[in-house]
Amino acid sequence: MEWSERGLILGCRKHGETSVILELMTRAHGRHLGVVRGGRAKTMQPVLQPGNEVTAVWRARLDEHLGLYAVEAAVLRTDLLLSNPQGLHGVNWLGALLRLLPERDPHPGLYDRAQVLLQHLATPLAPALFVHFELALLADLGFGLDLEACAATGARDDLVYVSPKSGRAVSRAAGAPWAARLLPLPAFLREPPGVPVEREKLREGFRLTEFFLTRDIFAPRGMNAPDSRAAFIARC
């Protein structure tokens, strides 16, 4: 078995005396692990850092084997991340999110979103892109929110709330009597990402995704959100 693809480095761990087990996120093969022989060499350490991109060739005798990676550097972000604490927290949080996906299960849309997010990690666009990414992750894991029409009336305008029970949008008029029980829906989540968003609206977006991530993904797995998420948001 053999394939070649570009991948985002999520992390690696020691394996034997000189090797590492490398964890990549690829477009066609999903989150995929493999052994890099000599991966602990000084020349490889700057390459095998989270947030970097590599061109990888994976080989194994059988598909279910762990297999071996041969990698070459494609995009190195180490210097950028070391000089940007928010970016470093963002890479760690992005990796934690992608690890929620089943191994070897392709999610090309999330891979493409992760690429865009990494390209803008040191810009004012990053926080809003992260909220959109979390929404996309929820959808790919089967817990997508319906933000297109009001759950009560079917209206598509003036949607300002989300029902914490159903994950569906609610209009201002329909939700007014129960506003205290509903989650705010910031307008930027119903628009294509691409412009900076004011801090309070970003916080509303992160609170919204946090509620559903915790209820539907983290709590059932006995997990808490990693500290990197809170650290990233604190710097927004």
Confidence (pLDDT) at 84: 84
What integer pLDDT is reported at residue 81 of this predicted model? Answer: 78
Sorted by where each begins, the domain ranges of the chain are: 2-76, 80-147+185-234
Which uninterrupted H or E stretch holds 212? helix 199-213
CATH fold, domain 2-76, is OB fold (Dihydrolipoamide Acetyltransferase, E2P) (2.40.50)
User: Residue 82: its pLDDT value, please?
Assistant: 74
* Pairwise CA distance, residues 189 & 184, whole Å: 11
The pLDDT assigned to 86 comes to: 87
How much is the pLDDT for 37? 97
Q: Give me the DSSP letters along 80-124.
A: HHHT-HHHHHHHHHHHHHHTTSPBT---HHHHHHHHHHHHTTTST
31 close to 105: Cβ distance less than 8 angstroms: yes
| pLDDT for res 195 | 82
Provide the sign of the torsion angle of the four alpha carbons 124, 125, 128, 129, taken in this order.
negative
The model's pTM is: 0.95
- State residue 85's pLDDT score: 86
Which residues of the chain are modeled with pLDDT < 50? none
Q: Is the dihedral of CA 145, 219, 50, 16 positive or negative?
A: negative
* Average pLDDT of the chain to the nearest whole number: 95
* The pLDDT value given to residue 196: 86
Q: How many CB atoms lie within 10 A of CB 191?
A: 12
Residue 180 half-sphere exposure, CB side, CA atoms within 13 Å? 1
